[in-house]
Amino acid sequence: MALALVLAGCAKGGDGATQASPARTDAKVATGAEAKGVEAWFPLTVGGKALRVQVAVLEAEQQRGLMGRRDLEPDDGMVFVYPAPQQMSFWMRNTPTPLDIGFFRADGTLGEVYPLYPYDETAVRSSGLDYTLAIETNQGWFAKHGIKPGAKVDLAQLADALRARGFRPERYGVRAAGP
């Protein structure tokens, strides 16, 4: 199993990508051409609480993460999806918004939550080696909603979001029922 250094919120060299600031939409799953990029928003329930997330799957999207973003609404976030279980490591280069990071196993179970501080380039590593998902939210979101380790993410919603983005959920170990 490879140990991956996930550069959420930043890329060491930067890929020059820009993050769109889409208008607030309802929480239904995006479809069509607008769902193809990381800019699309999707509903995702975590521990029974609703989030609106962007889905980062491609390496460039994951490296860019929430870099430079100041436009997150209180229940917005980004989910990072990986094809194999691993230890995760995130930092906050060029990221002005204080965030929380939650690390999830392939079965959708939350294992760990840590705060991330603006512009802090100190790596925040998961202690577990078996995570396939990470969710960044505004700092305090998990605590505000009483979401603790053991809570579950709705994998059916994540599978729908991956399909809408043009990815096969099975490739990422997301094995939820759906079309």
Task: Band the pLDDT of 35: cuts 50, 70, 90.
Answer: low
Nearest residue to 174 via CA among 60, 142, 163: 163
Three-state DSSP class for 70? coil
Helix H or strand E encompassing 63: helix 59-64
pLDDT score of 148: 98
pLDDT score of 175: 77
Query: Which residue type sits at 162?
Result: L
Alpha carbon distance 174, 91 (integer Å): 25
Is 24 a residue whose pLDDT tops 80? no
Give mean pLDDT, residues 124-145.
98
pLDDT score of 55: 98
Alpha carbon distance 109, 46 (integer Å): 9
pLDDT score of 5: 39
Q: Which runs of E-coded beta strand occur in the chain?
A: 42-46, 49-56, 76-86, 89-90, 99-105, 110-116, 124-125, 131-138
Structure tokens at 105: 């196993």
pLDDT score of 126: 98
- In the chain the first and final C-alpha atoms are separated, in Å, by 31
| pTM for the full predicted model | 0.82
> What pLDDT digit, counting tens, does each position of 46-62 carry?
999 999 999 999 999 99
Rounded to 5°, the CA angle 144-50-32 comes to 145
